[in-house]
Amino acid sequence: MRFADALTRVPLATTAHWVGGDVEGPVPLDPKDLRFADPAWEANPLFHAVRLSYLAGCRFVRDVVGSADVDAGTAGKAAVATELLLDAVAPTNFLATNPAALKRAFDTSGVSLAKGARNFVDDVRHNQCRPRQVDTRSFEVGRNLAATPARVVYRNDLMELLQYEPQTPDVHANPLLCSPPWVNKYYVMDLAPGRSFIEWAVQHGRTVFAMSYRNATKEMSHVTMGDYLVQGPVAPLDVIQEITGASTIDIVGLCLGGALTAITDAYLRQAGDDRIGTLTLLNTMLHYSDPGQLGIFTDRRTVEKLERTMQREGVLEGSSMAGTFDMLRANNLIFNYVVSNWLMGQEPPAFDILAWNADSTRMPAAMHAFYLRNFYVDNKLAAGTLEIAGTTIDLSAIKSPTYVVSAINDHIVPWESSYKTTRLGSRSPQRRPSPPLGSAAPPGSSVTSSSSGGGVRLIPMTRTTTVGTGISGGGQFSGAVGTP
C-alpha cells in the first residue's frame, strides 16, 4: 500500500514542482546523491518523475527485504545484495533515462556514444566486463609512483627490504621501518612525489626502510602467517641494526601490515626482545568483533567456501578481493564508471591512488585462510588466543608508545573497530597522543615525545650516491624499487 500510494503521488508532485508549487513528494530527495546532480532531474518533469518513481521503488524493496524473518548474517547479505541491485537499476545507468548522457550525445553528434561503445567492448574483453576505474598508461613505478630514491639492501624468499636515501644533513637516531599490507603493493606508502608518506618522513630527518612483499604464486600456497611474521617485520630488524647501528627501531604499519606490526611487537617482547621503539598503526584493525561491511563476506560459511576455492587454486586472486571491495561502494567504484566510460564516452581518470589500487596482488592460500578464520571469524587476536610461529600472541605485552590513526570514511577498517586498539595494549590511551612517527624537528634540534618522555637524538649521516630506480625481481615482488 505504501508503494502504491507513493506512485499515485508522483504525477501530482511532479506537476506541482514544474509549475512552482510546494507539494511534498512521495519520498525525500537527498541533495548529496550525485547521481542526480544534473539540472534536468529538477527542471524536466519527465526526469523528475522517473527519479521519484525510482526512489519510491527503492524504499519499497528495502522495506520488503528488511521485513524478512532471517538471522542477522543472512539479513546483512540480503541488504548488500539488495543495494547492489538497486544501484544497478538506477535510471542514471541507462542512456534513455540519463539526461547528462543524452545531452553529451547530442552535443558531440553521437561521437560520445561511439567512444562509449568502444570502451564497453574493451572492458568486456580485457577487464572482466567491469568498467575501468583508472587510466594507468601515464604511471610508471620508479618514475611517478614509488619515486623516492632507494635501494634494495636485503632480500629473502618473501620480501625485499628497501633503504631510502637520506635527504637531510642530520637524521634521527631511531630508524623507521614501514610495514605495508601485502593485500596491495607497498608503494601506497610512497605513492607519488608530494603525496608520499615515505618521502615526507625522509625529508623530515628519518632513516626509512620499507618492505615490499613477493606477489604470491601457486607455488607459495603453503606460506603461512607465521612466515610473514618471521620473514616479514622480524627479519629486517637485524639488517637495519647492522646497517645503522641503532638499538631501537620505530615501525609504522598500514592496514594488515599494521596488524602484523602489533603482532611483531608482542611476539618479540614475549621473547624478551625490546628493539621496537614506537608504533604507528594506520587504518589498522586488531579487534575483529565488528569488522563493518566486510563482516558480511567473512562469516564462517563464506570463509569455508573461499577456503575450498583457494585450496584448488593455491592463491586468492587480487581481482577477487577487488571485486569484493568494489561491491561495498558500488555507486562510486562501479556504476560511476558505467556512466562516465560507457554512456558518456569519457576516458577514466589518471589518478595515482587508483593506479595503485588497480595494481593488485595475490594471497597465499594457507596464509589467507588462517587470517580470515582466526582474525575475522574467531577474533583470536583480541582474545589473546592467536598462535603464530609457536607463540600465543598477547597484545598486552606491547609496551611501546603507540599512535593509532583511523579514517571516518574507511569501509575496510571502520574507525570504531580501529579505536578498540586502545584497549588491547598495556598502555592506557591518552587524550593527547604523541605526534605520528616522522614528525621530526628541523635538523640539529631535538623533539620530545609526550608518551615516552624521552628526547629523540639527532645524529649526522653521510649522504650516499643516489641509486637509480627500476622494478626488481623481474616483477615477482610487489612493486619493489631497487637497483636496475
In this structure, what C-alpha cell is assigned to residue 160?
625485499
By C-alpha distance, which of 89, 24, 27, 81 is closest to 59? 27
> Which entry of 58, 129, 178, 255 is annotated as an active-site residue?
255
For residue 366, which of 212, 227, 478 has the smallest C-alpha distance? 227
- Confirm if 482 and 472 have CB atoms less than 8 A apart: yes
Question: DSSP assignment of 170-237, as one string?
Answer: EEESS-EEEE--SSS-GGGGG-STTS-HHHHHHHTT--EEEEEEBPP-GGGTT--HHHHHIIIIIHHH
- Within 10 angstroms of residue 420's Cβ, the number of other Cβ atoms is 17
Backbone φ and ψ for 214, nearest 5 degrees, come out as: -65, 140
b/e map of 44-80 (b: 16 or more CB within 10 Å)? beebbbbbbbbbbbbbbbeeebeeeeeeeeeebeeeb
Whether 255 is catalytic: yes
> SS3 string of 367-435?
HHHHHHHHHHHCCHHHHCCCEECCEECCHHHCCCCEEEECCCCCCCCCHHHHHHHHHCCCCCCCCCCCC
Q: Hey, which residues are catalytic here? A: 255
